[in-house]
Amino acid sequence: MGYYHTPSSIEDALSIADKYNDNYTFFAGGTDIQIYRKQKLDLNEHIIDLSLINNINTISMKNGTLSLGAMATLDEIFVSKKIQNNFPLIAKSVNSVATPVLRKTATIGGNLLVKNRCTFYNQSKGWRDSIGSCLRDVGDICQVTGGKDDCYARNVSDAATALIALNAKAVLTSLNGVEHRLVKDLYLPCGIKSHNLSKGTILTQIHLSLSPVKWWYKKLRLRKTLDFTSLTVAATVNKTGIVRVCLNGASMSPILIKESLDLLTLELLIKQARKHCKAVDNDLMPLKYRKQMINVFLEECWETISQKDTRTQSSK
């Protein structure tokens, strides 16, 4: 099985994708999708490697607007002085992903579009077959809830958490043209179809402007460098006092809470987060603990964002 395509332009990549209909997989860094292929979770015959396409891996800043090429690696983003000086929240978030070596290969675009994860799905084929498979695979029921309708696989993108808190925009390119969309609108609250992207669309750039006056970021995971997030929280406060808190790893899509700092209270923040959180027991950490940690993180976050000092941060 398999054909490997190395297009040198976005147009070429889109033409190849169009030619092979649904039977292709885009490869950015490949650090996540490679495991899907090994575990027989991605069986598409055509691999379209985006690494030879020029101009989609650059990091530039013009008139206060930061442009991140989707193929920029997490390490390139972390070491960029433009990012460390102006958007430390992004630097912190990309540096919390995986290991130093993997970050030299993994890309920001790939991290934003990482597939949702579940302990009953992201396993070898033999393991999945042994439990009768699940709704997202070839089975009939969700192995976590026993339900037949909904998949609760979690979105685990750390970059998305930070970029949504920063109100970033994504540039999407398809044969129909170029579309600008808020990063938060890239996601759907569904474990199976977790991204609101039509086939034959490539994420090429991420744009964001105005560094926040305050920010906070923290990630919960069992083993640093080994595990995907169990809960990530990123928060920003801008000059006009608008708070944006994004939680990820707790639900099928990132949860955004946006409110004026004057109107927001810790109780309201926790209430909103709890209301939108659709966490089920599909992570290495127990559900009860993860739910408790939402309160713990939001309390810590609130301490920082409600203070009058500027540009403070915390991380784990």
Partner 1 sequence: MSLIQTKLTVNGYTHSLLVNADETLLFTLREQLYLTGTKEGCNQGSCGSCTVLINGKPVLSCMTPTLRCANKKITTIEGISGGETLHLVQKYLVSDGGLQCGFCTPGVVMTAVPYLEENPDVNRKEIKESLSGNLCRCTGYKKIIDAVENASKEMKK
Residues interacting with partner 1, by CB under 8 A?
1-4, 6, 27, 30-31, 34-35, 37-38, 47, 49, 51, 98-102, 104-105, 224-226
Nearer to partner 1, 101 or 268 (CB): 101
Nearer to partner 1, 85 or 225 (CB): 225
Minimum distance, C-beta of residue 234 to partner 1, in the bound complex (Å): 22
Decide: 155 and 248 in contact? Cβ < 8 Å: yes
Minimum distance, C-beta of residue 124 to partner 1, in the bound complex (Å): 10
Decide: 187 and 168 in contact? Cβ < 8 Å: no
Minimum distance, C-beta of residue 24 to partner 1, in the bound complex (Å): 11
Minimum distance, C-beta of residue 20 to partner 1, in the bound complex (Å): 13
Q: What distance in Å separates the CA atoms of residue 307 and residue 44, rounded to the nearest whole number?
A: 51
CA proximity to 294, closest of 244, 236, 232: 232
Backbone phi, then psi, for 169, in 5-degree steps? -115, 145
Nearer to partner 1, 103 or 214 (CB): 103
Nearer to partner 1, 46 or 214 (CB): 46
Minimum distance, C-beta of residue 101 to partner 1, in the bound complex (Å): 5
Backbone phi, then psi, for 45, in 5-degree steps? -80, -30
Element holding 62 (H helix, E strand): strand 59-62
Nearer to partner 1, 25 or 272 (CB): 25
Encoded tokens for 207: 């744009």
Bridging pattern class, strands 214-220 and 201-209: unpaired
